[in-house]
Amino acid sequence: MLKEIKRLLKMHRIFIAQDLKKLMEYKVDFLTGMLGFIVYQTINLIFLWVIFSNIPALKGWTYEQIIFIYGFSLLPKGIDHLFFDQLWNVGYSYISRGDFDKYLTRPLNPLFTVIVERFQVDALGELIVGVALMASTVGSVSIQWSVLNVILFLLIVPFATLIYTGIKIITTAVAFWTKRSGQITHVFYLVNDFAKYPTTIYNDVIRNVITYIIPFAFTAFYPASYFLTGENPLFNLGGTVVAAAVLMTVGVLLWNKGMSVYESAGS
Amino acid sequence: MIYVDNITKEFKKTIKQPGLLGSFKSLFNPKTEKIKAVDGISFHVPKGEILGFIGPNGAGKSTVIKMLTGILTPSSGTCSIDGRIPQKDRKNYVREIGVVFGQRTQLWWDLPLTETYAVLKEIYEVEDSAYKRKMELLNEVLDLQDFIKSPVRTLSLGQRMRADIAASLLHSPKVLFLDEPTIGLDVVVKDNIRRAIAQINAEEKTTVILTTHDLSDIELLADRIVMIDKGRNVFDGTVGELKQNYGQMRELNFELQRAEDKALLDYGKHFGLGEDDLKVISDGVNVTVRFNSELVPVGDMLSYTLSQVHLSDISVKDADIEEIIRRLYKKEVRIDA
């Protein structure tokens, strides 16, 4: 078991190295991607700033607190984007075109290989903006950075990341039956925009959807609100762990079932 | 070594009604039908054999190969290599096999070829010394050195195919699956690839299953042929047996001195041959006679022709595997397999 994990980690490092080498082949593409992301985030922030220059607080949350939540939301999203991005291609084309074949003829777990095969450096933009936003709120929000809270923070971000990854595995696995599911993943991802803001600003329907059905609220607002207020750790942090565990379990089971009905493509 | 036992594969196919409206209808009320792509195929391949696996387009060849390589799960029946079943023990199973799909590549598209080999070495956990030895051998038989440092996207089709075959052999598989390895290649590259396959087979005792539409691949490489059509076995035997069983049709070609002499030849009446066993095609002074050599010996055919007319040229053509297979595909020959 330990040997197997060691081997998988080694393969992960090798795949990352491959992608970094690829990056050197296509530098312009990489720089354009980064630039695009920074422009996109800047526009978002200007929008937030315009709103908050008129309203000093939103349902009890200050501008700085909302910036912290917004910044927090970019961490799991960015990490998932950085390491586990290949799933998009599987849903959009690999399964329908039969390119998924190659994962099945190698002595590595296909799901593992698919998940880690791509190292998406563009995502560094999200991570940098996310960390910068959170750092900018230091002093203006009251967070107790005790040892315990630092540890909880470092633990909860990976779980929040797995919520993204789990949802992506589930929606991608649907393609084994429908041949294509990139659009389904895309629709689910559109919902994550809601998670950047306090759920208290939404009506019941939206709040329940992003809490219990597509639990993106656990990737940002709930854990971030624990650090901001210190309230309800069981729900705010525990919910993130439970959501991640449930989604990953469902994802892996669905994926394995899906592989047995994979039809490849004629050649 | 490889046992395929009564394997079948059904695909569900949605019947789409034509037009946009029809697409909507089938979205909400899909009508599906089951299509049997493979319908009970069995064969056995002993260790070290090169098996030519042939059949017309859509016969189910690729589906069988994909089940044997663990990509598809059979609807029923089993296949095993060395007692291992791909769907049960996938990871250990695929270590024993190498796969090349001529129409696809498993190489890292954007990186130099060496990078692909370095990663495959890790994926298959090949020891350094074994890797070095293998690369030397593959370099020698497939001439990789000219392009091994080039990014894969810049390779020509012939180079890419050689690179893909090398990639599939890096971990010294016991069985090599080649699905149309010579498709779209020029004669020189085809020749290179055939020699490489023969050499690897001879040196490493690698069992090879080869699908192709180029029958020279089969004649030059295959010890045995399994032919399938519409998902069923049609023929299983050696190239010699194929010729013996279905190769009775011979061809006599000659050139008449005077075109009007044609009227003097009536093979059908003289030998009492029906339409199935005789075909005469003539174009000016050139005449081609295809006949069943089991019913009329070649000698009789020749002496009758020579006794009737004056010729300026004559030749007799042997049973040609390509002709036999064309006739089998077109159902001109009855099959009792």
Tell if the CB–CB gap between A18 and B122 is shorter than 8 Å.
no
| B43 pLDDT more than 90 | yes
Band of pLDDT at residue B337, cut at 50, 70 and 90: very low
Using one digit for the tens of pLDDT, what is the confidence trace for A53-94?
A: 777 777 888 888 988 998 999 999 999 999 999 999 999 999
Distance (Å) from the alpha carbon of A15 to chain B's nearest alpha carbon: 8
Quick one: pLDDT at residue A267?
A: 57
Quick one: pLDDT at residue B69?
A: 92
**Which residues, in sequence order, are CB contacts of A95 under 8 Å at separation 6+?**
A175, A176, A179, A180, A181, A262
Whole-angstrom distance, CA of residue B223 vs CA of residue B198: 11
Q: Exposed e or buried b for every residue in A216-255, given b needs 16+ CB within 10 A?
A: bbbbbbbbbbbbbeeeebeebbbbbbebbeebbeebeebb
Whole-angstrom distance, CA of residue A39 vs CA of residue A45: 10
Give the H or E element holding residue B47: none
Distance (Å) from the alpha carbon of A263 to chain B's nearest alpha carbon: 6
- Judged by average pLDDT, the poorest of B16-20, B44-48, B63-67, B142-146 is B16-20
Distance (Å) from the alpha carbon of A107 to chain B's nearest alpha carbon: 4
Band of pLDDT at residue B334, cut at 50, 70 and 90: low
Band of pLDDT at residue B12, cut at 50, 70 and 90: confident
| B336 pLDDT more than 60 | no
| B232 pLDDT more than 80 | yes
Quick one: pLDDT at residue A195?
A: 84
In this structure, the number of other CB atoms found within 10 A of the CB of residue B167 comes to 22
The answer to whether the Cα torsion of A101, A103, A107, A111 is positive or negative is: negative
Architecture of the domain made up of B248-318: 2-Layer Sandwich (3.30)
Q: Are B165 and B100 in contact (CB under 8 A)?
A: yes
DSSP state of A138: B
Residues from chain A contacting residue B70 (CB–CB below 8 Å): 104-105
Residues from chain B contacting residue A107 (CB–CB below 8 Å): 91-92, 94-95, 123-124
Using one digit for the tens of pLDDT, what is the confidence trace for B50-92?
A: 999 998 888 889 999 999 999 999 999 999 998 899 888 888 9
Tell if the CB–CB gap between B104 and A102 is shorter than 8 Å.
yes
Give the H or E element holding residue B103: none
Tell if the CB–CB gap between A11 and B90 is shorter than 8 Å.
no
Task: Considering only the beta carbons, identify the residue of B11, B91, B111 that sits closest to A107.
Answer: B91
Whole-angstrom distance, CA of residue A243 vs CA of residue A159: 8
Q: Are B189 and B164 in contact (CB under 8 A)?
A: no
Q: Are B110 and A25 in contact (CB under 8 A)?
A: yes
Using one digit for the tens of pLDDT, what is the confidence trace for B101-115?
A: 988 888 988 889 999
Tell if the CB–CB gap between A18 and B108 is shorter than 8 Å.
yes
**Nearest-Cα residue of chain B relative to residue A26:** B110
Residue range(s) occupied by CATH 3.30.70 in chain B: 248-318
Using one digit for the tens of pLDDT, what is the confidence trace for A105-159?
A: 999 999 999 988 888 887 887 898 899 889 988 888 888 889 999 999 999 999 9
- The pTM for the full model equals 0.82
CA distances from B307 to A78, A227, B265, B313 (A): 90, 108, 10, 15
Tell if the CB–CB gap between B111 and A99 is shorter than 8 Å.
no
The winner for highest mean pLDDT among A26-35, B159-168, B325-334 is B159-168
pLDDT, chain A, mean: 89
Tell if the CB–CB gap between B94 and A11 is shorter than 8 Å.
no
| B319 pLDDT more than 70 | no
The winner for highest mean pLDDT among A28-37, B58-67, B247-256 is B58-67
Q: What percent of chain A has pLDDT over 90?
A: 51
What does CATH list as the number for B2-243? 3.40.50.300
| B117 pLDDT more than 50 | yes
Q: What is the mean pLDDT of residues B186-205?
A: 93
Tell if the CB–CB gap between A11 and B123 is shorter than 8 Å.
yes
Residue from B26, B72, B76, B212 whose CB has the most chain A CBs within 10 Å, to mutate: B72
Angle (CA) B95-B101-B106 rounded to 5° is: 65
Residues of B near A (CB-CB distance < 8 A)?
A: 11, 62, 66, 69-73, 87, 90-92, 94-95, 97, 99, 101, 103-104, 106, 108, 110-111, 115, 119, 122-125, 151, 179-180
**ipTM of this complex > 0.85?**
no
Q: What is the DSSP string of A140-169?
A: TB-----HHHHHHHHHHHHHHHHHHHHHHH
Residues from chain A contacting residue B104 (CB–CB below 8 Å): 98-99, 101-102, 267
Residue B104 burial (C-beta neighbours within 10 Å; 0-12, 13-18, 19+): middle
DSSP state of B87: T
Chain A, residues 21-80, CB within 8 A of chain B, namely 21-22, 25-26
Quick one: pLDDT at residue B118?
A: 93
**Which residues, in sequence order, are CB contacts of A248 under 8 Å at separation 6+?**
A162, A165, A166, A169
Q: Are B273 and B263 in contact (CB under 8 A)?
A: no
Residues from chain B contacting residue A99 (CB–CB below 8 Å): 104
